[in-house]
A = this chain, B = another copy of it.
Amino acid sequence: MKSHTEYLTFHARSRREYSNITSKVESAVAASGVQEGMVLVSAMHITAGVYINDAEDGLIADIDEWLDSLAPYGKDYRHHRTGEDNGDAHLKNLLIGHEVIIPVTGGRLDFGPWQQVYYAEFDGRRDKRVIIKVMGE
């Protein structure tokens, strides 16, 4: 069994930001030499997410608005008694998920026609990391 690990780093300029990281995941799979297996892409923080969806700007704005309607920024969360102001970011992380597992077939991401991997930052202006781990043969 082969295993290959990479880390991506982010430092978003704004609080919330959505970055297409598909080509970085593809590069990690190519570097791993894995032909058959899976790749895990996982945020290493609890105020950011990783998801798979469409690379369409209108939809990304819809996703951002929807996440904020279900887990609003600026509410008086109990978590804020610690001095933080990012309670919403923790809930957005739980809503959209922090990790995806993608099948690798014939050395490539075995994706349908519109699947793209996104890093979703919910509490930016800090250093953040994502781990990419490929496993297989």
This chain: how many copies in the complex? 3
Which of B44, B46, B100, B135 lies in contact with A136, CB distance below 8 A?
Answer: B135
Which of B59, B80, B91, B103 lies in contact with A40, CB distance below 8 A?
Answer: B103
A108 to chain B, nearest CB (A): 12
B37, A3: Cβ atoms under 8 Å? yes
A17 to chain B, nearest CB (A): 17
Interface majority SS on A: helix, strand, loop or mixed? mixed
Q: Name the CB-closest residue of B to A137.
A: B1
- Confirm or deny: A121 has a beta carbon within 8 angstroms of a beta carbon on chain B: no
In whole angstroms, how far apart are the Cα atoms of A56 and B93 in the complex? 15
Interface residues of A (CB under 8 A from B): 1, 3, 5, 36-38, 40, 42-46, 51-54, 56, 58-59, 61-63, 66, 70-71, 77-82, 87, 90-91, 93-103, 105, 110-115, 129, 131, 133, 135-137
